[in-house]
Amino acid sequence: MSLLTSTLEALANHLGISPESELLHVALTHSSYAAEHDCISNERLEFLGDAVVDLAIADLITREYPELNEGTGSLVRSRVVNEASLASLARRLELGSCIKVGKGEIKSGGTDRDSLLADAFEAVVAALYLENGFQSACDFVQAMLADDVSDASLAPDEVDPKTQLRQWSEQQGHGTPVYEVTGSGPLHATTFEATVRVGSLLVASGHGRSKKSAESQAAKAALERRSNA
């Protein structure tokens, strides 16, 4: 059994749908592959999945966090539903091993691009929605993002470290911080190390279970060091 087949079956079992699901296979078909093989891409499913994810998280916030008003609830949702966070979820599910991409994307390492992974995650959510209904898709999304929502709800108005560092760096005339991220370990338990550089002024690093987390920790370390820079 190939890695691709094994991972696809594990994904299908996790979702509670058949590995033979046509919708699941479409959800994992990037437009570059579809163009080369004259088949359907996941773009329409991604469009639908985007709405399902938003509704699932809005539902969770409304039911579980009554202390959040419309404004703070929207801030929490935007902090947990974005390209970086959805790409992180896609990596946890090992979607990169399942997505079919064109030859050009393969050469450029496209299956590890945040935008491609985030779109695939949303497309998979849409496939689950169409196969098993909204409640199944809602439960899946909420389970995947529940901890992130909980963390964000503690300080919904707080600006994340990467934004804080970018704002400070640009205000000081150092331009936009540059991040480099490397990963190590098996696919199901990869750890990431991020290094951030602010011009020639300072360098800091951080670790995390996702690229987003590692970059956030690196930005936090840089913010702590800026007074000495």
Catalytic positions, please? 50, 122
Q: What Å distances lie between residue 204 and 58, 149, 201, 207, 208, CA to CA?
A: 35, 27, 10, 11, 14
- Rounded to a whole number of angstroms, the CA Rg of the chain reads 19
- Which helix (H) or strand (E) segment is 174 a member of? none
Strand partners, 203: 197
Closest among 212, 214, 216 to 90, alpha carbons compared: 212
Sign of the C-alpha dihedral computed for residues 94, 97, 99 and 105 taken in this order: positive
